[in-house]
Chain A
Amino acid sequence: MAVSEPLPPHVSLLRNEKIIMTLRRRYPSIFTSILSLVGAGFLLGGSSTIRYVAQYAGSFENVVGLLYVVIIAVAAFFTLAAVIGYFYVRGHLYILTDRRIILSTKFITVSVRDVAYSEVTDIIVNQGPIGRILNYGSVIPLSSGVRGLYALPYPSMRRFSYAKVGLKDVSQPTKIMNELFGLTRFRKST
């Protein structure tokens, strides 16, 4: 949480608007995303791949050679994902001002959502098991425009959004939720 960070060019403040805190996405969160992606891929195609290898690899030497190729491919994938993931995570910036929440993402494309505190209807906190250990999680402020379907805890049921709708994988999410409640509590929608 810092307030002295320079603002990106696609974010501008209103007159007399003050930044209360600036939040960033945590880098370790990208590894859980990669692992869940790999896990889903393995569940979908793992068994058929193993069956294919067992059927057509032939000799034991071929199987061992293929295993080396798989290990190198997996290591290369993880390294590439970790490097790209670093820049992806660096592109997330969340700003809480005294009037609104600004959620900005810049990675190949740029998306910015800003929502006034008076329009926030619900605040959802979602923290996975690894997030609980490393103390990060997502805080999603819902409004009548961005509804609960984007905040479901089950990724397969969650509606896809090309823009970021929540403060994804920020440190101390329950504390941030309490701060957000403090900012929204006395504001009525106009």
Chain B
Amino acid sequence: MTRLGGQPSDSVKNVVLPVPKEVSIAAGEQVLMVLGRSYISFVSLATIGLVVLWVVVAALNFYLPSEHVWVLLPLNVFCFLLLPPLLYGLGYLYVKGHRYIITNERIVMFRKFIGILLRTVTHDKITDLIVNQGPIGRLCNYGRVSPITAGMIMPMGAVIFSISGVGSPYEVRDRIAQLVKAMEPKEQ
């Protein structure tokens, strides 16, 4: 995570991530943070999925009648030997394709993996900020920050189009909350 403006954070890593070429910064707009997704957030999800799959395949190995055992060999080879390196390898590329750009005017959530998915939201349209951390996320200090607007409601706004798997999610939330506050009209 890098901060190009504002106060430097104590706990965030000082890694400089570039803004993707697909996102252009408008005149007068200032990039404050460029965040990436942490690989561990994907690994934890993928591992849970793999373990569930392995349990199912292991149960099949025990309960399938002996005349169908020939089906299990390719299934076992795929699930236990081919799938893990494929999943973790592709997962690395998937994670590397994520960029979250926070400027003084908007948040850009960008994902480039096979296709491109991009959401841009200006701070003045954000109504709620939701932070989610799983048990592994709590241990490894990563989580999901979901900027909710009137157009991007729960649950989709909180899951698909969100700042997923970022380090120090509460700091990111606080930073966005400050920017949202700064965009609010002054009270009478």
**Residue of A at shortest CB range from B25?**
A178
**Residue of A at shortest CB range from B105?**
A185
Whether a CB of chain A sits under 8 angstroms from the CB of B85 is: no
Whether the Cβ atoms of B153 and A174 lie closer than 8 Å is no
Complexed CA–CA distance, A132 and B115 (Å): 7
The segment from A41-49, A66-74, A76-84, A120-128 found at the interface with B is A120-128
Whether the Cβ atoms of A152 and B26 lie closer than 8 Å is no
Complexed CA–CA distance, A137 and B112 (Å): 13
Whether a CB of chain B sits under 8 angstroms from the CB of A149 is: yes
Q: Which residues from chain B contact A152 at a C-beta distance below 8 Å?
A: 156, 160
Whether the Cβ atoms of B152 and A122 lie closer than 8 Å is yes
Whether the Cβ atoms of B23 and A174 lie closer than 8 Å is yes
**Residue of B at shortest CB range from A149?**
B156
| Size band of the interface chain B makes with A | 20 to 34
Question: Known: A142-B151, A147-B152, A149-B156. Is A122-B116 also a contact (CB below 8 A)?
Answer: no
Q: Which residues from chain B contact A146 at a C-beta distance below 8 Å?
A: 151
Whether the Cβ atoms of A123 and B156 lie closer than 8 Å is no
Q: Which residues from chain B contact A184 at a C-beta distance below 8 Å?
A: 122
Whether the Cβ atoms of B125 and A181 lie closer than 8 Å is no
Q: Which residues from chain A contact B153 at a C-beta distance below 8 Å?
A: 147-149
Whether the Cβ atoms of A127 and B116 lie closer than 8 Å is yes
Question: Known: A122-B151, A148-B157. Is A137-B119 also a contact (CB below 8 A)?
Answer: no
Q: Which of A52-70 contact B (CB under 8 A)?
A: none
Q: Which of A100-126 contact B (CB under 8 A)?
A: 120-126
Mask of B18-46 contacts with A, CB within 8 angstroms, 1/0: 00001110100000000000000000000
Whether a CB of chain A sits under 8 angstroms from the CB of B106 is: yes
Whether a CB of chain A sits under 8 angstroms from the CB of B100 is: no
Question: Known: A124-B161, A129-B115, A178-B23. Is A148-B151 also a contact (CB below 8 A)?
Answer: yes
Complexed CA–CA distance, A144 and B157 (Å): 13
Whether the Cβ atoms of A121 and B125 lie closer than 8 Å is yes
Whether a CB of chain A sits under 8 angstroms from the CB of B15 is: no
Within the complex, the shortest CB–CB distance from B13 to chain A, in Å, comes to: 28
Complexed CA–CA distance, A177 and B20 (Å): 14
Question: Known: A131-B115, A132-B116, A174-B116. Is A185-B122 also a contact (CB below 8 A)?
Answer: yes
Q: Which of B87-132 contact A (CB under 8 A)?
A: 105-106, 114-122, 124-125
Mask of B126-155 contacts with A, CB within 8 angstroms, 1/0: 000000000000000000000001111100
Q: Which residues from chain B contact A132 at a C-beta distance below 8 Å?
A: 115-116
Name B's A-contacting residues (CB within 8 A).
22-24, 26, 105-106, 114-122, 124-125, 149-153, 156-157, 160-161
Q: A121-B150, A127-B117 are in contact. List 14 more A-B contacts (CB 8 A).
A: A121-B121, A122-B119, A123-B120, A129-B114, A129-B115, A132-B116, A137-B116, A142-B151, A142-B152, A148-B157, A153-B160, A174-B23, A181-B120, A182-B26
Q: List 27 A-B contacts (CB under 8 A).
A: A121-B150, A121-B152, A122-B152, A122-B161, A123-B119, A124-B117, A124-B161, A126-B117, A126-B118, A131-B115, A142-B149, A143-B151, A146-B151, A148-B151, A148-B152, A149-B156, A152-B156, A152-B160, A153-B160, A174-B23, A181-B120, A182-B26, A184-B122, A185-B26, A185-B106, A185-B122, A188-B124
Name A's B-contacting residues (CB within 8 A).
120-129, 131-132, 137, 142-144, 146-149, 152-153, 174-175, 177-178, 181-182, 184-185, 188
